[in-house]
Structure formats: structure tokens, C-alpha cells
Amino acid sequence: MKKRINLFLLTSFFLTIVFIAFSGIFFKQKINNMKNYPDSPYLISVFGEVLVNGQKVRVLPRKITKGDIIETIDNGGGLAILQNGIELCLRNSAKIIFYDTSSIELIDGELAARKTDNEKFTVKWLRRKLLINGESSLKVIKDRNREYLIFKNYNGRVKMITEPSGEKTLLQPDYYYNISKDKKITAIKLLPAPVNLIPDDLKNIGIEDGSNLLFKWDKVNNARGYSIHIAYNSVFAGEKIYQTQTNFFILNITNFKNSPVYWRVSSIDKNGITGVLSKTNRFYIKNLIQILQLWKNPPNLTLNGPLVPTGNLLIIKGRTDLGVKLTINGEHVTVDPNGNFMHIISFKTIGEHDIIIISKNLSGAETRLMRKVIIYEK
């Protein structure tokens, strides 16, 4: 009898452990799924003016339901996340009708769509259906009596367009398609993606690295220029785009209002068509709030001591803030990573001389020191 009780207790204990283990796995999987996608479609971010069914969006997140019409006004934009992991970024006077979690209709403007797995997503336009996955951008152009769709296919996956007649056309990866109302489809091969070089992915950047931030990437053959895309989210909602003819670009650190910063680059061909986007890099700005506050005030500027010439030479040493433009009598002076500077002036005439030291930050705030020295010998 005692053996049976012991065996029963041992078996119960074992089954309890197994149940807890499987419950933990199931619960963890459920939590992971909840982290990945929302349980309903939501508009989670807007910039500028965005309307849903004619009403301005004032509270986020904003749940999206079947039949909702979403519009962005002028340069406004919005980021929507659907529960199956599709990310939609609306911009440039976009207008869409939401049907369900795998289907929308593009009426006007520009739409970027990203789907990270192999599931398909349908975008309707003028009774056509575009079956897409991966990453794509779509832009409706209305020119007088013409209307056509610019479709860029990224991420190396084949997409497909279905005509009202049922006829299907495969859209190859890394191509630009001009699709007109009368079934005409023009395809142009996109220039390849540049390779990002600087700043490194996940780099931490501070004012000690200098006030100017260098972006650099490999050159692309046959590119006549490049577009660099800067945003504060991975889908580049509300992105700012700069263009340059070189394979580098410089921005001052005070241009950034948030952290982390996401960036990627595309080349521009002779027809003005932007090519395949590079991979996305991101970097972090240390003490961003303090940096932005710093630029509102005049910079600190001090000298290490009184200015005493030796013969016709004057050595000026001092300290100022990082990232400023420092001049002494109109001549540029380098500031080291600790904010220290040293400058030597050789005078050619005897007598009294003015020394004007100016430290100016990029907001235009400046600090000025004026001193007089007397030179007794040449």
C-alpha cells in the first residue's frame, strides 16, 4: 500500500513538472506573439496632419477598422501596423481605403509597405491587384488626364500584378515599374544598393566626436547622385531626405532631435530614379538633450591667464565648448577633443595690438573676448 502511494505521488509530481514546462513554453510563445504584432490594426504614429474618415487624428494609437479611409494632408504622414506584421507608411498626400488585414486600396499619394515573412499582401489600384511581400513602395501620379502607378520592388522577392481580366504579370525584384491605366507596363532596372560605411551600425556618438557627423557609403557605378534617408523609426515614417552628388554627406549633430537615428542610402540614376535602398544602420546620440540645450546659450570661453608676449611672439591658450567655430583675429583655431586650444601670433610691428577671440556655435550664439598687448621689439 505504501509503495502504491509513493508511486502515485512520484507520478503526480512528474506530470506536474511536465505540465508547468509545457505551460511555460506555450505562455512564452503567446507573449512573443503579442510583442510581435498588435491584436488589431492600429495607426501608431503620425507627423503633420492625418485624417481618418475625414476626422483629424488626435489620439494615438488609433484603431483601424474595415472601410476606414486614411488620408495624409500635404507632407503629413502616418505609420500603421497590422496584426499580421505588415507595416504601412503613408506620405505625400496619400489616401487609402482599409479593407482587412491583408488588403487595402491605394487612391492617391505614396505608400511604403513592408512584410518581413513570406505572407502576401494585396494593394488594389484602379481595379488592379498587386500581390506583394518583402518591401515595396507605390506612388500614384495624376498628370492632367493621365493616371499611373510608380512601383518599386525591393528585397529580392517576386511580386505580381493581376489585371481585371485575370491576366497576371510577374514583377521582378529590384525593378522600377511604370504601370499605366491601359495595361502598359514599363520596367527599368534599379541601380544596386550602396554599402553603408560610416557611421557604424549601433555606434554611440557624442559631442566629443565633433559637432559634424559624416555619413559615407561606397560609390555605385552609373549613379549621378545619392539620396540619404534619415528617420527616428525603422520604417522611416516622417523621414527627411537629403540629396548629394558625392558618396558622403555631413550633418551637424544639432540637426537631430531624437535618438536612436536610423539612416539608409539609395543611388540616383541618369533618369532621376532612385535605386535599391541600402541596409538600415542606426546610431545613438549620447546626452542629446544636454547637447541641444548647450547650443541655445553662448559658448563658454576662458583664457588660461593674462596675455604676455615674449619678444614679438604671443602664445594664447584657453578653453571653450566642443563643436564651436573659434577664431582669433579672424584666423580659424582648432579646438581639441577636451575643448582646449592654443594659438601663436608673430607680430611684425611694435606697438599696441588688439586681440579679438570669438567662439560661435551653430545656433549663432557667440562669446567674444578682447585684449590688448604691447610689442616692444620686432
pLDDT at residue 32, as a whole number: 39
Q: Among 7-21, 81-95, 145-159, 312-326, which range has the highest average pLDDT?
A: 312-326
Tell me the β-bridge partners of 55. Answer: 52
**For residue 145, pLDDT beyond 50:** yes
Max alpha carbon distance in the chain (Å)? 117
**What is the CB-side half-sphere exposure of residue 306 using CA atoms within 13 A?**
6
Using one digit for the tens of pLDDT, what is the confidence trace for 39-73? 678 888 887 889 999 999 989 889 999 999 999 98
pLDDT at residue 341, as a whole number: 95
- Is residue 44 within 8 A of residue 52, CB to CB? The reply is no
Q: Read off the pTM.
A: 0.63
Lowest mean pLDDT among 11-20, 41-50, 71-80, 346-355: 11-20
* Angstrom distance (rounded) from CA 282 to CA 280: 7
Q: Exposed (0-12), middle (13-18) or buried (19+): which is 51, by Cβ within 10 Å?
A: middle
Place 222 in a pLDDT band, splitting at 50, 70 and 90: very high
pLDDT at residue 299, as a whole number: 86
- Is residue 274 within 8 A of residue 294, CB to CB? The reply is no
Closest CA to 194 of 215, 166, 209, 165: 215
Cα-Cα end-to-end distance for the chain: 116
Place 297 in a pLDDT band, splitting at 50, 70 and 90: confident
* Angstrom distance (rounded) from CA 126 to CA 106: 9
- Is residue 141 within 8 A of residue 125, CB to CB? The reply is no
Three cell numbers written together for 24: 511555460
pLDDT at residue 154, as a whole number: 79
Using one digit for the tens of pLDDT, what is the confidence trace for 352-364? 999 999 998 867 7
pLDDT at residue 2, as a whole number: 44
Lowest mean pLDDT among 4-18, 131-145, 231-245: 4-18
DSSP state of 364: S
Strands 203-205, 281-285: parallel, antiparallel or unpaired by DSSP? parallel
pLDDT at residue 283, as a whole number: 92
All structural domains of the chain: 42-189 (2.60.120.1440), 196-294 (2.60.40.10), 301-375 (2.60.40.10)
* pLDDT, mean of residues 30-43: 57
